Amino acid sequence: MINKEPRKIYLITGATSGIGLALMEGLACSGHDLIGIGRSPERCKEQKEKFHESFPDLRIEYLIADLSRQKEIRDVAKDVENLLSEWEADGLDGLINNAGTFTYWQTLTPEGFETQWAVNHLAPFLLTNLLLYQINKKDSGRIITVSSGSHYNAKLNWSDIQGSGRYNPLKTYKHTKLANVLFTAELNRRLGTTSTTRAYAADPGLVNTGIGEKTHSRIAKQIWVRRRKKGISAAQSAAGIMRLLDEDLDDNGALYWKHGRAKKPNPFALNKDFGWRLWEISAQMTGIN
């Protein structure tokens, strides 16, 4: 369990529903200040009001951004920096890259990227890099990216990394979740062994949320409605993710976790050459130096 003291500041994406909202609720109950990012102004306003009513002594703010658009990611990163300055905070204790999407039909963002690739991988990559120096200010900064067990038995196609050539929605989703783990492993390498900031990839398990219903395919919706009933609650999944924020966590070098327990990821994700290659491609796609 996370200690209530000292009070910390955490940023969660996809924070208006599902696992993201459960994380906001769990961390608020632990006495921490929070910044949530959501796409819907109405939902952000609604949740902000609920949190202020339930936790009047905490600083809880919601910021609005469509994470499929890199311009909005850059804008919201500046908003986070301004908010931290307003709060007179000495950095950001943790970033939880939770937001994700599944698109049955191939769609491109205004910047020309496949939507699942943009939201599930490029958004965490870009937001993390933009806020990394704020996280590095802390003695035990944490960067958690929500992946999935679907990354197992997947391999990236370097000649068509977004899966645009012959689009398969499930295969593309698996590739984005594999990219989450590759990114986490490479980030830890680049941070180095002397860094007190640690990055983890979290497997939330099968969770009873509405992610699979955000599609225009009626068949895909029906399949997910049946499948989600076998899943655990968002609160149960969030509890395992919150465990990774604990300063006393003895990770023994493990980077992939499910329900608070270390697991071996897909060996593809641990390949140093692949990690470096994905980072360079992602940096080029996002304009990160």
The answer to whether 176 and 120 are in contact (CB under 8 A) is: yes
pTM score, two decimals? 0.91
Domains: count for the chain: 1
Q: Is residue 1 in a domain? A: no
Q: Is residue 4 in a domain? A: no
For residue 49, the domain's CATH number is 3.40.50.720
% the chain with pLDDT above 90: 86
> How does pLDDT run across 202-246, given as a tens digit for each residue?
999 998 765 544 555 555 555 445 554 556 899 999 999 999 999
Q: Is residue 120 in a domain? A: yes
**pLDDT exceeds cutoff 50 at 283:** yes
Q: Is residue 21 in a domain? A: yes
Q: Is residue 255 in a domain? A: yes
Q: Is residue 3 in a domain? A: no
% the chain with pLDDT above 70: 90
The model's confidence at residue 25, banded by pLDDT at 50, 70 and 90, is: very high
The model's confidence at residue 188, banded by pLDDT at 50, 70 and 90, is: very high
Q: Is residue 187 in a domain? A: yes
Range of the domain at 51: 9-286
**pLDDT at residue 199, rounded to an integer:** 98
Q: Is the dihedral of CA 83, 88, 91, 95 positive or negative?
A: negative
